[in-house]
């Protein structure tokens, strides 16, 4: 006869008030297999746990059922208690007689009867539990960081500084991301590049960091602790080892001028170019589409001019494989496409604001370049159309954000702040000008944020109009902005020289594809999903993959940096251990019985099941079978349901355990 111990908790009055614990104890003691049944005021308390430990030893218990609260509350506690007494923790089950019984039923008899049944079922289950040991998985103490914006840089440096190798992959020719292009940052107005560039340089030079710039993640295989990542290093046509970054090539490049991505189209660039002077690596790249050599094999100036002989027209994409134990995704954001020309109809529109139609209607990031000392105008505010200084400027916030009609219900969070900043920067440069702001609400939660906005309004005299803009038209060189001031209840029309649209933040292109490669979740807007909004904000549901920065949700620089450090910390927690241990409650294939139809392989949400074969010593094939990769299996059991012969089973929720519970529905 089995020796199961049942511990019934009063939870003070929480359970005892509605459930007759003595009655329960009496009846439960009669269940076949139950060796002892006791009740106690607080089983989770220290004395309660001590009691469990004593009973385990005294009665040589082979399994425990604790009838108390939700397993989500205390299963870990009681399994630890069992472990402390030398009983395998996986021989512990709980019957939830609080949340599922005493708290939701008032009739004492009914509640008592139900409690007994729940315990009976739990006893039935635990009789079929098996002793399990945590699964140990080898661990490569090397991290991959995807995206080298401020978040990626921060995460990479934190991990690297802790003494572990980091592989940093950046899609653009240079690290720095969006922040490198910003002018000054709220609420302190310190220069963005001044604070970022040192860190960019550090990343470029750090002995523990391998930087793959102008590269993308091609594919991801493996699982936590053991990822194999293939990185596509896009052809740069410049040998970055030979190149000295002298600049002869791009100075002499004759190609028709293309618009600079870094300046968001406000300035030209050559076919061979360095994105911006402080780029890391400080090496140029050739743009095939613009390069005469590639267009009509007509030119080779850069190659001739390059004394380091670094130009290599024959350059090709290269695939490099990196083995890492953890991945941090910092893929960043892009702006909502406000132009009439719509790349993704779902997330674009606002033709009525004339963006892309009127030269002087620009977006906020373009404005950042206009006011940046390193920008195309050297920091002087000149409007794109004729270079005149705008005397009347209009800022429109919530362009795309908080607008279900345009597909985005969320608030982009940072627009209120940077718009206030923009009005200030404008005022500081154009003293006799007026800045108008059309806004829905001002959201300035954050250290010194509200004060900052006040300053913009009170000291720098920004004209705030609470209302939306309906239309912008151009009449003899002026932009007529028609809106409303809902506070004053009057229509407002501003004759502006320039309009800046605070477009919504969206996850950058390719994040979805990346998420699919990494098998991590994302929400309806394409922002990556954390595994718990409160308690696991930087983890994903795929073990070993972490997220930070604006690819998770709109956020400002300090938040992105904080989250990046958090992600780094999570990785370091993992690397701090010698090897990985994982929950053993996972699927297992009975390889003798498996008929190898591979329905499970098709089904597994984590690609954790492999098609494999069994061979004898001589290598002759005995049979094909499916096999679960314990490093990948998350224990959902979906494979069990699709296996016709139940040749795959799930530890902890095995067929035997579940059916035993059903048998006890009496």
Partner 1 sequence: MSETAIFEPKIVAYVCNWCTYLGADLAGTNRLEYPSNVRIIRLPCTGRIDFNLIIKALESGADAVVVSGCHPGDCHYTVGNYHARRRWILFRELIGTLGIDMDRIHFAWISAAEGKKFQQTITEITEQTRKLGPYTAYRKLCEASI
Partner 2 sequence: MSEVITRKNLQDLVNAWISRGNTAAGPVFVKPDVCMYEKLSSGERLALDSFVHPTNSIKEFYFPRHEKIYTYRFKGQKLELDDCEPARTPQLILGARPCDAAAIAILDRVFNWDYKDKFFNLRREATTIVTLGCAEYDDNCFCTSVGLGPTAEKGSDAILLPLNDGEFEVRCLTDKGKALFAGKTQTSSQEAKPLSGPENRVDIELIVAQLEKNFEDPAWREIALRCLGCGACAYTCPTCHCFDIVDEGNAAGGARVKNWDSCQFPMFTMHASGHNPRSTQGQRQRQRIQHKFRIYREKFGETLCTGCGNCTRNCPVELGVLNTLLSLREHALRSSSEVRG
Partner 3 sequence: MIEQLRQTCRRLLEEAKVNVIIGYGQSSADGPAFPIFITKPEQVDKLVWNDKCYANLTTYLTRNDVKALGKPAIIVKGCDERALVVLQQESQINREALYVIGVACDGVGNPRAAKCLVCDVHRPRFADEVVGDTAATDAGGGRYLELGEFLKKSPAERMTYWMEELSRCVKCYACREVCPLCYCNRCIVDKNRPTVIDTSATLKGNLAWQIVRAFHLAGRCVSCGECVRACPAGINLALLNLTLARAAEEHFQYRAGIDPQKTPIIGSYSLEDKEEFIL
Binding site for partner 3 (CB under 8 A): 592-600, 602-603, 611, 624, 642, 644-647, 655-656, 659-660
Would you count residue 621 as binding partner 2 (CB under 8 A)?
no
CB of 77 to partner 3, least distance (A): 30
Helices and strands per DSSP (H, E), number in the chain:
17, 34
Q: Find residue 272's DSSP bridge partners.
A: 286
Of the pair 477, 605, the CB lying nearest partner 1 is at 605
Would you count residue 663 as binding partner 2 (CB under 8 A)?
yes
Where in 530-549 is the site for partner 1 (CB under 8 A)? 541
Q: Which of 2, 29, 80, 104 binds partner 1 (CB under 8 A)?
A: 104
517 three-state secondary structure? helix
CB of 654 to partner 2, least distance (A): 17
Q: Is the Cα dihedral 353, 182, 510, 238 positive or negative?
A: positive
| Both structure tokens of 88 | 């395998």
541 binding partner (options partner 3, partner 1, partner 2, none; Cβ < 5 to 8 Å by kind): partner 1
656 binding partner (options partner 2, partner 1, partner 3, none; Cβ < 5 to 8 Å by kind): partner 3
List the x/- string, 1-20, binding to partner 2 by CB under 8 A. Answer: x-------------------
Where in 545-604 is the site for partner 2 (CB under 8 A)? 592
Q: Which of 70, 486, 607, 645 binds partner 1 (CB under 8 A)?
A: 70
Strand order across the 34-40 sheet: 34-40, 4-9, 63-68, 92-96
* CB-based contact 156:168 (threshold 8 Å): yes
Where in 495-524 is the site for partner 1 (CB under 8 A)? 519, 521, 524
> Could you tell me how far CA 504 lies from the centroid of its own chain?
18
208 binding partner (options partner 1, partner 3, partner 2, none; Cβ < 5 to 8 Å by kind): none
Is residue 54 within a helix (H) or strand (E), and if so which, with residue range? helix 46-58
521 binding partner (options partner 1, partner 2, partner 3, none; Cβ < 5 to 8 Å by kind): partner 1
- Strands 165-169 and 142-146 come out as parallel
Q: Which positions ≥6 away from 301 have C-beta within 8 Å? A: 249, 252, 253, 254
Of the pair 463, 603, the CB lying nearest partner 3 is at 603
Would you count residue 664 as binding partner 2 (CB under 8 A)?
yes
Distances (CA, A) of 417 to 288, 414, 639: 39, 5, 49
606 binding partner (options partner 2, partner 3, partner 1, none; Cβ < 5 to 8 Å by kind): partner 1
Instruction: Quote the CA–CA distance of 265 and 508 in Å, as a whole number.
Output: 18
* CB-based contact 132:105 (threshold 8 Å): no
Of the pair 216, 591, the CB lying nearest partner 3 is at 591
Max Cα distance, the chain (Å)? 96
Of the pair 78, 214, the CB lying nearest partner 1 is at 78
Instruction: Quote the CA–CA distance of 478 and 255 in Å, as a whole number.
Output: 34
The span of 28-36, 166-174, 416-424, 625-633 binding partner 2 (CB under 8 A) equals 28-36
For 378-391, give the secondary structure using H, E and C: CCCCCCCCCCCCCC
Would you count residue 27 as binding partner 1 (CB under 8 A)?
no
Buried b (16+ CB within 10 A) or exposed e, 311-322: bbeeeeeeeeeb
CB of 326 to partner 2, least distance (A): 42
Exposed/middle/buried for residue 351 (C-beta within 10 Å: 0-12, 13-18, 19+)? middle
Q: Which positions ≥6 away from 441 have C-beta within 8 Å? A: 416, 466
* CB-based contact 600:641 (threshold 8 Å): no
CB of 103 to partner 1, least distance (A): 4
Helix, strand, coil tally for the chain in percent (to 5): 30, 25, 45
Would you count residue 616 as binding partner 2 (CB under 8 A)?
no
Instruction: Quote the CA–CA distance of 529 and 517 in Å, as a whole number.
Output: 14
Of the pair 441, 523, the CB lying nearest partner 1 is at 523
- Strands 92-96 and 63-68 come out as parallel
CB of 519 to partner 3, least distance (A): 15
Would you count residue 614 as binding partner 2 (CB under 8 A)?
no
Q: Is the Cα dihedral 469, 471, 474, 475 positive or negative?
A: negative
105 binding partner (options partner 1, partner 2, partner 3, none; Cβ < 5 to 8 Å by kind): partner 1
The span of 31-39, 241-249, 289-297, 503-511 binding partner 2 (CB under 8 A) equals 31-39
Instruction: Quote the CA–CA distance of 493 and 481 in Å, as a whole number.
Output: 5
In degrees, to the nearest 5, what angle opens at C-alpha 492 toward C-alphas 491 and 498? 150
Q: Which of 71, 92, 120, 421 binds partner 2 (CB under 8 A)?
A: 120
| Both structure tokens of 74 | 């205390």
Would you count residue 535 as binding partner 2 (CB under 8 A)?
no
Distances (CA, A) of 448 to 191, 244, 419, 452, 613: 17, 43, 15, 6, 64
**Of 439, 454, 453, 438, which is closest to residue 494 (Cα–Cα)?**
438
Q: Which of 124, 349, 390, 400 binds partner 2 (CB under 8 A)?
A: 124
The span of 180-188, 280-288, 503-511, 637-645 binding partner 1 (CB under 8 A) equals 637-645
CB of 153 to partner 2, least distance (A): 58
Would you count residue 369 as binding partner 2 (CB under 8 A)?
no
30 binding partner (options partner 2, partner 1, partner 3, none; Cβ < 5 to 8 Å by kind): partner 2
Of the pair 132, 457, the CB lying nearest partner 1 is at 132
CB of 537 to partner 1, least distance (A): 16
Would you count residue 665 as binding partner 2 (CB under 8 A)?
yes
Q: Find residue 589's DSSP bridge partners.
A: 648
CB of 160 to partner 1, least distance (A): 31
Instruction: Quote the CA–CA distance of 445 and 585 in Å, as a whole number.
Output: 43
Q: Which of 148, 249, 437, 661 binds partner 1 (CB under 8 A)?
A: 661
535 binding partner (options partner 3, partner 1, partner 2, none; Cβ < 5 to 8 Å by kind): none
Q: Which residues bind partner 2 (CB under 8 A)?
A: 1, 30-32, 34, 120, 124, 592, 663-666
Q: Which residues bind partner 1 (CB under 8 A)?
A: 70-72, 96, 98-101, 103-107, 110-111, 113-114, 117-118, 121, 519, 521, 524, 541, 585, 603, 605-606, 634-638, 640-642, 650, 652-653, 658-659, 661-663, 665-666
């Amino acid at each position: 006869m089995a020796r199961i111990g049942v511990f019934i908790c009063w939870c003070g009055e929480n359970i005892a008030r509605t459930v007759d614990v003595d009655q329960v104890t009496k009846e439960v003691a009669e269940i076949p297999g139950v060796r002892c049944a006791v009740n106690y005021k607080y089983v989770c308390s220290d004395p309660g746990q001590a009691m469990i430990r004593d009973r385990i030893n005294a009665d040589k218990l082979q399994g425990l059922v604790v009838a108390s609260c939700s397993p989500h509350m205390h299963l870990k506690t009681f399994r630890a208690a069992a472990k402390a007494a030398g009983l395998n923790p996986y021989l512990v089950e709980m019957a939830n007689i609080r949340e599922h019984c005493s708290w939701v039923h008032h009739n004492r008899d009914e509640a008592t009867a139900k409690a007994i049944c729940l315990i009976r079922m739990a006893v039935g289950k635990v009789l079929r539990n098996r002793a399990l040991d945590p699964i140990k998985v080898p661990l490569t103490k090397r991290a991959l960081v995807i995206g080298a914006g401020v978040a990626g840089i921060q995460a990479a440096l934190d991990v690297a500084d802790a003494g572990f190798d980091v592989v940093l992959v950046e899609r653009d020719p240079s690290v720095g991301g969006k922040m490198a292009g910003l002018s000054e940052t709220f609420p302190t107005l310190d220069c963005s590049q001044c604070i970022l560039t040192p860190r960019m340089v550090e990343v470029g030079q750090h002995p523990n960091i391998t930087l793959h710039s102008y590269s993308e993640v091609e594919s991801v295989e493996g699982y936590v602790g053991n990822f194999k990542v293939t990185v596509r290093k896009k052809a740069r046509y410049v040998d970055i080892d030979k190149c000295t970054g002298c600049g002869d090539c791009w100075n002499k490049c004759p190609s028709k001028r293309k618009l600079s991505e870094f300046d968001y189209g406000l300035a030209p660039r050559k076919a061979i170019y360095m994105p911006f002077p402080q780029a890391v690596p400080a090496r140029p790249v050739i743009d095939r589409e613009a390069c005469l050599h590639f267009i009509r094999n007509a030119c080779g100036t850069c190659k001739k001019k390059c004394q380091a002989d670094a130009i290599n027209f024959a350059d090709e994409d290269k695939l490099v494989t990196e083995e890492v134990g953890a991945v941090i995704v910092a893929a960043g954001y892009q702006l909502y496409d406000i132009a009439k020309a719509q790349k993704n109809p779902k997330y674009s529109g606002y033709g009525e604001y004339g963006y892309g139609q009127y030269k002087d209607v620009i977006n906020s990031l373009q404005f950042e370049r206009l006011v940046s000392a390193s920008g195309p105008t050297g920091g002087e505010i000149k409007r794109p159309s004729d270079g005149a200084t705008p005397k009347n400027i209009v800022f429109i916030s919530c362009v795309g954000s908080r607008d279900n009609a345009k597909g985005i219900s969320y608030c982009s969070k940072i627009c209120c702040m940077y718009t206030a900043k923009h009005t200030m920067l404008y005022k500081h440069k154009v003293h006799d000008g007026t800045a108008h702001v059309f806004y829905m609400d001002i959201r300035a939660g954050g250290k010194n944020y509200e004060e900052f906005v006040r300053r913009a309004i009170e000291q720098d005299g920004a004209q705030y109009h609470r209302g939306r803009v309906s239309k912008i038209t151009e009449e003899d060189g002026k932009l007529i902005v028609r809106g409303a001031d809902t506070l004053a209840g009057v229509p407002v029309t501003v004759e502006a020289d320039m309009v800046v649209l605070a477009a919504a933040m969206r996850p950058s292109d390719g994040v979805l594809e990346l998420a699919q490669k990494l098998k991590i979740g994302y929400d309806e807007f394409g922002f990556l999903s954390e595994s718990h909004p409160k308690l696991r904000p930087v983890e994903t549901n795929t073990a070993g993959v972490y997220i930070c920065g604006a690819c998770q949700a709109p956020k400002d620089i300090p938040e992105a940096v904080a989250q990046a450090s958090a992600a780094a910390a999570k990785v370091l927690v993992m690397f701090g251990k010698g090897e990985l241990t994982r929950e053993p409650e996972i699927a297992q294939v009975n390889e003798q019985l498996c008929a190898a139809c591979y329905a499970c392989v098709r089904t597994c949400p984590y690609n954790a099941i492999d098609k494999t074969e069994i061979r004898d010593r001589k290598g002759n094939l005995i049979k094909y079978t499916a096999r679960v990769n314990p490093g990948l299996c998350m224990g959902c059991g979906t494979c069990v349901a699709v296996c016709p012969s139940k040749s795959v089973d799930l530890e902890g929720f095995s067929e035997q355990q579940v059916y035993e519970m059903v048998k006890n529905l009496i």
